[in-house]
Amino acid sequence: MKYIDGGVCAAKGFSASGIRCGIRPGKTKEDLSLILSTKPCSAAAVYTQNKVCGAPVKVTRAHLENGIAQAVICNSGIANTCAENGEETAEKTCGYLADALGIKPTDVIVASTGVIGQPLPLEPVKAGIPALISALSENGSDAAARGIMTTDTVKKEFALEFSAGGSACRMGGIAKGSGMIHPNMATMLVFITTDAAISPALLKKALSENVKDTFNMISVDGDTSTNDMVALLANGEAKNREIVYEDEDYKAFKDALFELMKELCRGIAADGEGATKLLECAVSGAATDKDARLAAKSVVCSSLLKAAMFGADANWGRILCAIGYSGADFDPDKTDVSFESAAGRLCVCKGGRNVAFSEEDAKKILSEKEIKIIVSIGGGAFSATAWGCDLTYDYVKINGDYRT
C-alpha cells in the first residue's frame, strides 16, 4: 500500500470539478462539485441517523437501492433540509445533470451541506451545470474538495494504491466536515472512488464495517448533522479479478479502505471548527469492544477535556471522569493514563492515582499539534481509537453567528 496524489481522480476513469454557481450571494468560494466515472459503478453509502434527514439524503438513498451510480453532485452553502420542496429540488438537480451527461438520473448521488431551513435555489445549480461539466478534469479533485467545504479551513483529500486480484488498484477520497461532527453516524460528507472491481455487496460490507472504526469514532462537538453521507464508487477500471468473496483480495481492499477512511477522519478531526490540535484517544484493556469504544469516544467528546487540551493542561482527572460517565464498564483503580506527542510521552495516572510528573514536560507535550491520549482501563483484550479536537475560542466565534 502506498500513498499517492490525485484525490478522487487517483483511480482510473474518474474526473472531477468544482465551480462557484452562486448559491449564496456575496460569497466567493466554490459551491458546486461533481465527480464522474466513465462508466456506471458499484456504489454504496452510509447516511446520517438523525431523524431530521436532509432531502438529498432521502433522494440518494432511493437512487442507490440498486447499488449502482455514476456521478456525484454536491453543493455547499444551503443544506436543502427543513425547506419546501426539498426532494423535488434534489431530484431536479439529478435530472439536469443526468440530461447534460447522458446518464440515468437514478445513477446520480446528490448531496448538500450548509444552513438548515432555507430553500435551496434551483436556478444557480441548473445554470451552473454546463460550466461544472466543462470543468471536469483528471486534476479536478482539488476543486471538487473545495466546492464541498463550508467552515472547513483546509481541504481533506487523500489517495493510495494497493494490490488486489492481481492488479494495482487505486482509491481516493475527499471529505467535508468541521462542525456538527459526532460519532454514531456517517458524520460528514465523504466521497470515495476506486478503480477496483468489487461486488456491490462486498463494497457495502467493507464500507459499513470500516465506518464503525473510523467516521463513527470522531467527534468535534457532539452534534450530528442532518445531511451526512459517506459514498463509495467502484468502477472496475483497474481490471483486477472482481472481488466477490471474503478472501485475501477482499481483505486487501478493506484494509486500503480503512487506511483511507482513517486518514480522512484525522483530517476532519484536526480541522474541527476552531481546532488547534488533533486529539487521538487510544483505549486498551477493555473487557468488550463496546466498552473500549464508549470509553474512547467519551474522552474525545468531553468539553472539559477538550478545553484543557486547548490550554495544554494535563488535567487527567477529566479523562477518568469522562470514562466514568461513558457507560463503559471498567475499574477506575486499574486505569492508567499517558499523554504522547512529538515532544515525548508522559505517564500521568497509574492505577487511578496521580503520578508525580513534571508540569513543564506535560506542557511541552500538550503544546504540540497532535496529542495522543493513551488509556488502559484494565486487563481486557479489547481496544478502540477515537479522534477529536480541542475546544477553542474560535469554535464559539464560528458558531456564534454562522448564518450571517
Q: Please give the positions annotated as active site.
A: 187
**Toward a copy of itself, which CB reaches closer, 153 or 163?**
153
Report residue 285: phi and psi, to 5°.
80, 10
Q: Between residues 241 and 353, which has the closer beta carbon with respect to a copy of itself?
A: 353
| 394 bridge partner residues | none
* Cα separation, 395 vs 124, whole angstroms: 31
Nearer to a copy of itself, 117 or 130 (CB): 117
Contact set with a copy of itself (CB under 8 A): 49-53, 79, 81-84, 115-119, 179-180, 182, 184-185, 221-226, 301-304, 307-308, 310-311, 313, 315-318, 320-325, 328-330, 332, 349, 352-354, 359, 391-393, 395-404
Q: How far is the CB of 121 from a copy of itself (least distance, A)?
A: 14
Of 101 and 275, nearer to a copy of itself (C-beta) is: 275
* DSSP assignment of 20-86: ---SSTT--S--EEEEEEEEEEEEEEEE---SS--HHHHHHHHHGGGSEEEEEEEEEEE---SSTTH
Q: From the CB of 234, what's the least distance to a copy of itself, in Å?
A: 30
Query: What span, in angstroms and rounded, lies between the C-alpha atoms of 255 and 169?
Result: 13
- Paired with 44 in beta bridges are 232
Rounded to the nearest 5°, which phi and psi values hold at 347? -85, 125
Distances (CA, A) of 253 to 39, 121, 164, 224, 351: 20, 39, 7, 29, 40
The CA distance from 364 to 393, in Å, is 21
